[in-house]
Structure 1
C-alpha cells in the first residue's frame, strides 16, 4: 500500500527562495500561539472583511451560487451572507494555523464532541468507514479534531509544489495520527477501509464530467456530482458516515458523526446514490451555511458539455 511518505528536512529547504514560506508560517505559528482565541477570532474575521475589497470576482461567484441554491433569498440577505462568508474565509487562515501549530492540550479546549457515536460504534466493530465531510472553511480543524478525539483517518492529498510549504503542510495535516494518501491512489483508499480504517472524503464539489452524474443539489436540479462515493463504498464494503465540525457561537467546534447511512445507500445505482449523498451534504451545510466554501463554482458543469454554462454569465 502506497501511503504518502513524510517529507524529510534537508538543507536545501533553507535556500533563500524559501525564506518567504518559512517567514509566513513562522509568523502565523507565533500569532496563533501567543494570542488568545478571542483575539484570533477577531483578527481572522477582520482579515476576511478586509479581503472583500479585493475579492470582487469571488464575491460574484458566491452571489451566483447562492442565487442558484437559495432563489428565495433577497438581495440584502445575500449581501449579509456573502460578507459573513468572507469573514469566515479570513478566519480559515487562523484556523489553519491553530490546526497545524497548536499543542493538543490547547486544541482540545475548542472541541465539542457533540455526537460521534456512529464512528465510535464502527471503531469498536473494526469496520472501515468512508467519512463524508464537506469543504467547510474550517476543514483543517475538523480533520484534526477527529484524530484528537481518538478517531484518526486517512486523507486524500495532493502534495504542494513548493517543498518548504509541503514540509510544513504535511506535518500540520498529520497531527495526532492522521495519515495521507495521494488523491489518485484509489487502491490504497479502498485497502485502508477494508482494513478497518477511516477515509476522509469530500463529495460536495464539482469535479467535472468524469465519473459524475447530474442530480439535484439545493434548488439546482442538475448539479454535477461525483460517483466516487459509490465506487469507494461498493468496492470496500465500508460504512458511510456523514461528518462535520462547524464553529458555534461560543467559538467551539461541534464535531458530529452520528449517522451511518450505508444501509439506505443504493450503491448499485450511481444516480440515486449521488442524489442521496447530496441530500446529506445539504443537511451538513445547513448546520452553518456561512462557513461553507461558496466561492467555488459549484454549478460550473452542465449535462451537455457542448453547451456554454449560462449559470455564471
Structure 2
C-alpha cells in the first residue's frame, strides 16, 4: 500500500533571521501590534491604508476592474471602483483580525462572530458525517477554519505555499494555531481525502484556472468561469457532504 504524507508542519529555519527577511519580520510585527488595538479604532485606519495600497497596486486593481466589468456590466465605472476600493480596504482588516485571533485566542473574539446556518454544523456533529466545506477565496478565508478548530473540530485544509518562506512559515503556523492538518497542494489531493475519510472536516478552496484541458466552463454572473470538475468526485471518494461556506468581514458590525 502506497503511503502519502499525512500533513504539512511548518518548521522554523535559522536563515529566516537573515537580513534579507528583516523587513518581512518588521511588517509581521506591525500587524501583530496593530491587532492589539480594538477594531473600532484600527479598522478605519486600515481601510484608508488598504484603499491607498489599492490605488498603487495597478496590476491587481486592473484585474479586479476587468473581472467586475465582465461579471456586472450593468454597473457604472464609479460603482465598480467603489467595490474595488472596499475590497482592498477589507484585505488589511481581515489579515489583522486573523493575527488577533492567533495572538489573543477565540474567547473574546467569539462575540464578534456570527454564524448563519449554525444548525447545519450542529446536524453534522450530531450525525457524525464526513463533510467538506466548499469555501471561495477571500481575505478572511482562514478564520472560520481556525474558529472551528478552536472549538475542538478536527480540520483539514489544502494550501499553496507562499514565495516568501518567512510569510509561509508564519501564515501556516497561525493556521495551525488551534490544531488541524495542513496539506500542501504539491503533495496532491490524496492526503486531503485521507484526512476527510478519517473524520476531519475538509476545508476546500476551489482552485484557479488550470486551462481548458483540465477545466469546465460554468456560468458566473454575466459571464462564465473555468472551474475544475472535481467536487462530485471528492464527495464520492471521501463519502462526504459538500457544504458551501462563505466568510464575510463586516466592518460595521465587527467592533
Between stretches 149-158 and 130-139, larger displacement belongs to 149-158
Partners of 2:173 and 2:212 in 1: CA distance: 33
Partners of 2:13 and 2:219 in 1: CA distance: 49
User: What is the CA deviation profile of residues 40-93 of structure 1, one whole-angstrom value per residue up to 9, with x for unaligned ones?
Assistant: 211221111111331223222212211111122122322222222222233233
Choose the corresponding residue for 1:64, options 63, 66, 77.
Answer: 66
CA RMSD of aligned residues (A): 2.4
- Matched residue, 2:25: 22
User: What is the CA deviation profile of residues 13-35 of structure 1, one whole-angstrom value per residue up to 9, with x for unaligned ones?
Assistant: 333333223222122112212x1
Off by >4 Å, runs of 4+ in structure 1: none
- Matched residue, 1:259: none
Q: Which runs of 5+ in 2 are unaligned?
A: none
DSSP 3-state at the match of 2:83: helix
- TM-score normalised by length of structure 2: 0.86
| 2:235/2:241 contact within 8 Å kept | yes
DSSP 3-state at the match of 2:35: helix
Partners of 1:223 and 1:166 in 2: CA distance: 29
Choose the corresponding residue for 1:241, options 216, 230, 243.
Answer: 243
| 2:94/2:249 contact within 8 Å kept | no
Partners of 2:167 and 2:62 in 1: CA distance: 30
> Shift in Å at residue 204 of structure 1?
6.7
Query: Does structure 1 residue 87 correspond to structure 2 residue 89?
Result: yes
Choose the corresponding residue for 1:105, options 104, 107, 129.
Answer: 107
- TM-score normalised by length of structure 1: 0.72
- Matched residue, 1:189: 192
| 2:95/2:139 contact within 8 Å kept | no
| 1:51/1:90 contact within 8 Å kept | no
Partners of 1:93 and 1:180 in 2: CA distance: 19
DSSP 3-state at the match of 1:160: coil
Partners of 1:10 and 1:99 in 2: CA distance: 25
- Matched residue, 1:251: 253
Choose the corresponding residue for 1:46, options 45, 48, 52.
Answer: 48
Partners of 2:164 and 2:62 in 1: CA distance: 30
Choose the corresponding residue for 2:221, options 200, 218, 223.
Answer: 218
- Matched residue, 1:142: 144
Aligned residues: 251
Q: Which runs of 5+ in 1 are unaligned?
A: 254-313
Q: For 1:200-211, list aligned pairs within 5 A.
A: 200-203=203-206, 205-211=208-214
> Shift in Å at residue 243 of structure 1?
0.8
